[in-house]
């Protein structure tokens, strides 16, 4: 019988379980102390160093920074070649202010190739023709529709911007079709692909605010396997009625060969993927052709319990051979506009 002056032994044994001794290399949780910065401005590097051992997603952000810096620093010992870095992002990222960061990365040749969705292509050009505005996630859809405003999360895009896009892009499609037809049967027969279309549009926009203007200038390929899934698809659809029976042909097979060949020939491959869906799988599947990328950073809020590729963690990609067995990887469960500026500030822009 337990003594009235002592707790039950079973309770004591359950609560006061003896711990094993922690290994010497175990990392202690660290706290961000703003007192350390008294008298001077706080830098992005200060925040990174203060957050990387904080725990939870702060530590995941710190891991992303470490992995990307490793991608940047690596050189092939024989040839001096750098890591081939594939950057992927969904269309909403271009609609947001992250577009400026993507543009800067491409302008300064920090990435080797881009994969995006149709919206991630057209919204870049549309922003050169008209502005996107802040709104609210709870803005009434019916009211916006009556006003000709299209909502993307808590942003709105006036529908006039898409009309301006049509006025700009259709004459270019006309010219591309003319060049395609004129080249038939010649040695230089034109075979348009999504990446060639984007390259051409980047040239035609001739606007330094555009991501794809800089991709054109720096000859960085931009892949979009779902090019028709957006306003560009609408324009291509309308264009078929205008030009019938002639039709612009866009070959996706040449592009899959091109991106897969880039991955196969890479001395080392790194993936930085913001969001999920087709952009995430397209990059990962290209890296499968080389038995996996050496480095991978996923940034998205999708969960894995539904079996979707969008929510799949890096360990699942390892099982498919999309990341190497000993590959360095992290998934950051944070909405990308919240963390990617801090990540870039501590990686690519650190020495800017």
Strands (DSSP E) found in the chain: 84-89, 113-116, 133-134, 149-152, 155-158, 222-223, 269-274, 293-299, 323-332
Rounded to the nearest 10 degrees, how much is the dihedral formed by the CA atoms of 77, 273, 204, 124?
-150
Q: Which of 52, 196, 322, 331 is catalytic?
A: 322
Question: What is the Cα–Cα distance from 116 to 54, expressed in whole angstroms?
Answer: 32
Strands (DSSP E) found in 138-228: 149-152, 155-158, 222-223
β 133-134/222-223 pair status: unpaired
Contacts of 74 (CB under 8 A, 6+ apart): 82, 83, 268
Check: CB of residue 271 under 8 Å from CB of residue 331: no
Question: What is the Cα–Cα distance from 296 to 271, expressed in whole angstroms?
Answer: 5
Helix/strand number for the chain, H first, E second = 15, 9
Phi-psi region of 80 (alpha: psi -120 to 50; beta: other; left: phi over 0): left
The partner residues of 330 in beta bridges, in order of sequence, read 297
Placement of tokens 């543009």 in the chain: 103
**How many C-beta atoms surround the C-beta of residue 109 within 10 A?**
12
Catalytic residue flag (residue 127): no
192: which 2 tokens? 């348009």
The partner residues of 269 in beta bridges, in order of sequence, read 84
Rounded to the nearest 10 degrees, how much is the dihedral formed by the CA atoms of 44, 333, 99, 92?
-160
Which residues are annotated as catalytic? 322
């Amino acid at each position: 019988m337990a003594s009235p002056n002592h707790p039950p032994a079973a309770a004591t044994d359950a609560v006061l379980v003896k711990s094993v001794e922690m290994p010497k290399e175990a990392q202690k949780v660290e706290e961000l102390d703003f007192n350390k910065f008294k008298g001077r401005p706080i830098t992005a590097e200060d925040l990174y160093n203060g957050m990387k051992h904080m725990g939870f997603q702060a530590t995941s952000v710190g891991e992303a920074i470490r992995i990307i810096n490793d991608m940047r620093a690596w050189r092939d010992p024989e040839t001096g070649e750098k890591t081939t870095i594939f950057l992927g992002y969904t269309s909403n990222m271009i609609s947001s202010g992250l577009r400026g960061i993507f543009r800067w990365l491409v302008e300064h040749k920090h990435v080797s190739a881009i994969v995006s969705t149709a919206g991630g292509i057209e919204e870049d050009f549309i922003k050169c023709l008209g502005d996107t505005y802040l709104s609210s996630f709870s803005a009434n859809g019916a009211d916006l529709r009556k006003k000709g405003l299209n909502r993307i999360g808590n942003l709105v895009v006036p529908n006039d911007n898409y009309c301006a896009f049509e006025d700009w892009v259709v004459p270019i499609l006309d010219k591309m079709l003319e060049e395609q037809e004129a080249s038939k049967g010649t040695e230089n027969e034109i075979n348009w692909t999504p990446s060639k279309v984007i390259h051409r549009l980047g040239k035609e926009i001739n606007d330094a605010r555009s991501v794809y203007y800089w991709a054109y200038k720096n000859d960085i390929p931009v892949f979009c396997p779902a090019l028709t899934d957006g306003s560009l698809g609408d324009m291509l659809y309308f264009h078929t009625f205008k030009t019938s029976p002639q039709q612009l042909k866009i070959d996706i097979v040449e592009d899959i060969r091109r991106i897969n060949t880039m991955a196969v020939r890479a001395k080392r491959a790194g993936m930085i993927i913001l969001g999920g869906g087709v952009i995430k799988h397209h990059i990962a599947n290209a890296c499968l052709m080389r038995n996996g990328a050496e480095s991978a950073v996923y940034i998205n809020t999708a969960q894995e319990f539904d079996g979707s590729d969008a929510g799949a963690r890096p360990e699942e990609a390892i099982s498919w051979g999309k990341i190497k067995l000993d590959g360095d990887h992290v998934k950051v469960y944070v909405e990308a506009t919240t963390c990617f500026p801090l990540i870039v500030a501590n990686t690519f822009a650190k020495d800017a």
